Structures are given as C-alpha cells and as structure tokens.
Structure 1
Amino acid sequence: MKKTKFLIFCSLFSLFVSTKDYVINPGPDAYENLQEAMILMNAGDSILIKSGDYYFEDSLSLDVDNVVIRGEGLNSTILNFENQKSGAQGILVTSNKVVLKDFAVIDAKGDAIKVIGADGIAMINLRTEWTGGPKSTNGAYGLYPVESKDVYIDGCIAIGASDAGIYVGQSKNIIVKNSQAMYNVAGIEIENSYYADVFNNKAQHNTGGILVFDLPDLPQQGGHHVRVFNNEITNNDTDNFAPEGNIVGEVPRGTGIIVQANSQVEIFQNNIGENDTVNIAVVSYQLETEDKDYYPHPSKIQIHNNSFGRSGFNPDLDTGDLSKILFSLSDGDMPDIFWDGVLPLKQMIFGQPDEEKLVLKHNGDATFLSIQPIQYMLSIFDPVNRSTEEFENDPSPLREIVINRFW
C-alpha cells in the first residue's frame, strides 16, 4: 500500500513539475520567441507576455490544447500589427480549451483574434482595436470565434471593426458578458448559433449595437435560444463603413438591436435609446437564396421589461432598405420597435401560430410598428399596424446558458 501511494504521489508530482511557464519580453526577438513558445508548449503550459509594445509583421498561430496565453493588462501588453505583411489574422487559434487574457491586439491586417473549431475558448480582458477610426480597410472582426463550443467572452473591449467587434458564429453554448463594443459596424453579433447569453455589455457608437442573425449557405443554420439582457445599447450613431458587398453593409446607422431569421430570442431588462434610426428591428432575411434548407423568418421573439429612450430622430435613409421603408410607412414618426411582418404565405393568410408570435410586454412607453404584408403588396389598405395588443402575451423565459468551465 505504501509503495502504491508513493507511485501515485510521484506520478502527480511529475505531472505538476512538467508544466512550463514561458515568459516573453519586448524586444527585437519577441515575435520569434512568442511563436516558438506557441509551437513548443504542451497541455498545461502557459505564456506570460510582459508589459510593453510589441510590433509584429507576421501573424501568430496556436494549435495546442489546454494552454493559457496571458499578458499584464489590456492597456499594458500591446501586440501591434500595423506593419503586418503576412497572415489573415493577428492571432489564429485552432485548438481546444484555450485561455486568452489580459492583452491587446491592435491594427491587425485582417481579423484581430480568430478561433476556429474550438471545444472550449475563454477570451478574458482582451482589447481589439483599429486605432485610425472607422474605415472600410479595417479588419472585419475583433474577437472572432467560429464553429466552436463553450465560448466564454468576459471583460473585453472591441473597437473599429469593419464587420463586427465581437462576433460568434456557427457556435453553441456561448456567453458574452461585461464587454464593450464601440465604433464597429456591428458591436456584438451572434450568427447562426445556438444557446447564447449576451449580458452586462455596453454597445455604443456602432452602426448597429447588437445583431442576432441567421444566414443561408452556412453549415450550421437555424439560430435559436439567444438571450440579450441587462445591456446598455445606446448612442449607436456611426455611419456604416463595411466594405461593399458585406451583409452588414445593409445595416442603417443607429440601430440598437436587429434580430433576423432566428427563433427563440429573448430581449429583456436592457437600456436601449438614443439610437439614430430604430431601437429594435425584427426582420426576415429577404435576399434571394438557393439554399432550400434555410428558413428566413424569425419566430418566438420576446421583447419585455426593457427601458427605452429616443430613437428615429436622425434616421439613416442612405443605407439599405429598412430605414427608408420604415420612414415612409411611419410618416417620419419612427417607432422604438419594428417588425416587418413577413411570414410564410400560409401564415400571412391564415395567421401565425400563437407559440410563434412576437411577444411585447412591459416595455414602458415604447412605440411599435409592424407591416401587414398583404395590404402592403395590394396598396389598397393601410398596411401599418401600431397596436401591440395582439402581442401582449406573457413571456416564457428561456433557460440560462451554462458552459463547461475548463479554466
């Protein structure tokens, strides 16, 4: 028995002492030292990037599971890619159970930090920024985890992305909290994803604050079960600077929240106001697609217990069709909450099932407008509905998202 205990102790001790902590300091060899450490490290190892400014000409990549990359603060450890010559990202991660924390990535040639196919990724106290202000030549995404599971984003700052500052796509089990997104086209975007909680964030001075999208022609579709709550979604007023052809290039300046083609989305206890065009828009995907499996209509969207400030006082009539149609139908009296009313033809004729209907409850004095598509197409009757009576049903709260913590 004593021998067995001794062998177990030796095994555990060996595992403990075998982990390694790499330390990277500023200097001319910093890139080589950091990339080498990212290649040589093993599960359980960590890298500490000391305070300072690091100027890199090439992207960094990581493909090792169960490791930690950390700096000494998002305003202290600065990875600067303004002179980047190779690579489509600042940092690319293709491994599982990785923690990235306490550093900044600025002026990347493409995306700042991209994560592909991770089973567990934690992004904590990071900053991504393009320091020259909003420009179409900025990288598309700040924090960019895709095709991943158990995605945890906490205490991050994203500034200046030409698509989305914080973007989670085709992923499952997601938490985005305590973060700030500013001066991006989309502040925070959840796209084609399942089970996401987005809360305690500030989305300000973007083109659109928070987007919950589902798009065709992607391996994972039918985004569902997304909660957006306790967020500050205010003062979104930046002109759309997305490159031509980008889907978010259709988002009008000054949109608080857009829900497009998702089901089971709950929006509650947010402060939403001072957004140039509209506070909340619920819309179908209306571009042509050959994807026969794609369902373009939102369903069971619940909007309740929110606090609304002004919107529609400076609508963007030059970007996309949304604001132009809304401005025309409302005679300039823009609503806080807009639903385009587009449904499958059968539902437009016979009505939408109760369990799929929009829910609007306890939103103070928020105003509402929906389109009645058949009347709109016939151009005979008034297509505008301003009453919320049909939608004032009690909400059915979605469950809290729980992810498998690994750090």
Structure 2
Amino acid sequence: MKYVILVVLFAAVIMPGTLGAKNEINPLTENTGKKTVISPDDSKKEDQNKNSHGENHIIVVTPKNPEKLQKVIDTLEDGDKVLIKAGTYKIHDSLKIAGKDNIVIAGEGKVSILLHDVYQNVFSIENCGTVTLSNLHAQHIQPLPEYECHGAVIAAAGTRKLTVTGCELNGSGAIGITAYDCGEIKVSDCFIHNNSYNAFYFNKVDTLLIIHNVIKDNKSYAQFYQCGNIEMYGNEDNNNTGYWESMGE
C-alpha cells in the first residue's frame, strides 16, 4: 500500500525525527520518506487527491495548536494515521472519533493529552470499525479526588475493534477505559492508575483481551457485564481497592 506523509503545520518548522522512538510501541511502521507540508485547511483538498490515487496518509501533528487535533481527526478517512509529536496538548473538549475505520492515532516520544473539562471523556469513540490508540498519556488536567459523574479517559460505543497499547491513563475521570456494545477490545502494555471509579467498565463486549498492563491504585479494578470471551494475563495488579468488581455477569 502506498503512503504519503502529510505534516499538519502546527509549528513554523517541520520537526525532524523517525516514526517511532526506540522502545516505544508505535504501529506507524511504513515511511516512504516523502513529506508534504499542509495547513489544516488544506486537509480536505489533499484527501481528495488521496482518494483518486488510492493512497493513505500519515498526518503529523505538533503541540503548538492542540485544539486543532479535533479538526485533524474529523478530516481522517479510512486507513489514515495520525502521528502526534512529543509535547503537551491541553484541550477543552473531548477528542471524538466517529464513523471511522482502520484509524491509528499514535504518539512519538512523550505525548500528554490533558482535558480541562472533567465531565467529558478524553477520547470518545463511536460507531467505528477498527481504531488503535498507541503511546499516549491521557488524563484530565484537574481530576476530581473522589468519584462523581464525570468523564472517562477512553470511552467507546458501537465499535468493531478498539486497541489501546502502550498508553498511560491516570487519575482522570471515573474510569480508565469503558466500552458498550463493541466487538473486540484489546488493552496491552498500558499503565492504568489512580482512576476514581474503575480501571475498566465493559458492557456487551464480545471479546476482551487485557494483557501485560500495570493496573494500580484505582478505586476499583473492573466491572464486566454481558461480555463474551475474556482473556486477562500478564498484568501487574496492585492496590485496586475492590469495591465494585463484577466479572462476567
């Protein structure tokens, strides 16, 4: 498959680097070395070229204008990939991924996505095919110390497959990862900690694979309702206080 790398011009210069630092989990493995510099307003025009030539894009974003992350996501087409450069991205609204398929959003280096509004999810994924989130640190800027009705870090609904790998999800909102009416959820090599309700809350998920994570200091470990095949192994669990556990009901 042919890839064209698009750089979203969030800074005045193109940041050098490779796709994926050493020891990071990064699924952005294909790089032709060709880069086209565009502004966010040009994204749709470039996408039209992609459709006509059968190409997929890798769009590179930098932290100068973090609020444009949502615009980048909105312009993604099936098969596109977003590479988020190292830095802190402070946002005011949930990052919403809706109706997409075969989408990858991955961080390069240390990437922190911080949401101001504790009553929204940091990531909301709805009615998608396959979505992968990789090497991201996500939380609310000032999470509430105790559970109230506030947002999760990652929330998915009506999605065929969600993969979360190499991410840190901490102290933000009520739940690390929650999903409803989804096909497959895979969580691997993540650090999930200090969430004020649960690390996980899953309802009507066909397949769950939770492997090789560090899960600690959450108010509770997990609630699973009407879920199908569940595999959990290689996880390090510590000090999840256990008030709400309910497995496989």
Assess same fold via TM > 0.5.
Answer: yes
Contact 2:122 2:140 in 1 (8 A): no
Q: CA RMSD in A?
A: 3.0
Q: Specify the alignment match of 1:106 in structure 2.
A: 114
Q: Specify the alignment match of 2:25 in structure 1.
A: none
Task: Give 1:253-264 correspondences, 5 Å limit.
Answer: 254-255=241-242, 258-260=245-247, 262=248
Structure 1 residues 47 and 112, CA gap change in structure 2 (3 angstroms):
same
In structure 2, distance between residues paired with 1:100 and 1:128: 13
Gaps of 5+ in 1: 1-14, 215-221, 237-253, 263-297, 299-407
Amino acid in the other structure paired with 2:112: A
In structure 1, distance between residues paired with 2:186 and 2:104: 14
Deviation per residue, 1:312-340 (Å, 9 max, x gap):
xxxxxxxxxxxxxxxxxxxxxxxxxxxxx
In structure 2, distance between residues paired with 1:127 and 1:38: 28
Partner SS state of residue 37, structure 1? helix
Partner SS state of residue 106, structure 1? strand
Does 1:145 pair with 2:153? no
Amino acid in the other structure paired with 1:229: Y
Deviation per residue, 1:105-154 (Å, 9 max, x gap):
21243111111122111111111112324346795121222211122111
Count of matched residue pairs: 209
Q: Specify the alignment match of 1:343 in structure 2.
A: none
Amino acid in the other structure paired with 1:99: V
Amino acid in the other structure paired with 1:114: S
Task: Give 1:13-52 correspondences, 5 Å limit.
Answer: 16=2, 19-26=4-11, 33-34=39-40, 37=43, 41=47, 42=50, 44-50=56-62, 52=63
Q: Specify the alignment match of 2:24 in structure 1.
A: none
In structure 2, distance between residues paired with 1:141 and 1:121: 17
**Alignment equivalent of 1:233, drawn from 214, 234, 237:** 237
Higher strand fraction: Structure 1 or Structure 2? 2
Partner SS state of residue 148, structure 1? coil
Task: Give 1:73-112 correspondences, 5 Å limit.
Answer: 76-81=86-91, 84=92, 87=93, 89-102=94-107, 103-109=111-117, 110-112=120-122
Structure 1 residues 132 and 175, CA gap change in structure 2 (3 angstroms):
same
Deviation per residue, 1:236-274 (Å, 9 max, x gap):
3xxxxxxxxxxxxxxxxx1188224x2xxxxxxxxxxxx
Q: Specify the alignment match of 2:81 in structure 1.
A: 68
Gaps of 5+ in 2: 13-37
Between the aligned residues of both structures, percent identity stands at 10
Structure 1 residues 192 and 161, CA gap change in structure 2 (3 angstroms):
farther
TM-score (norm 2): 0.71
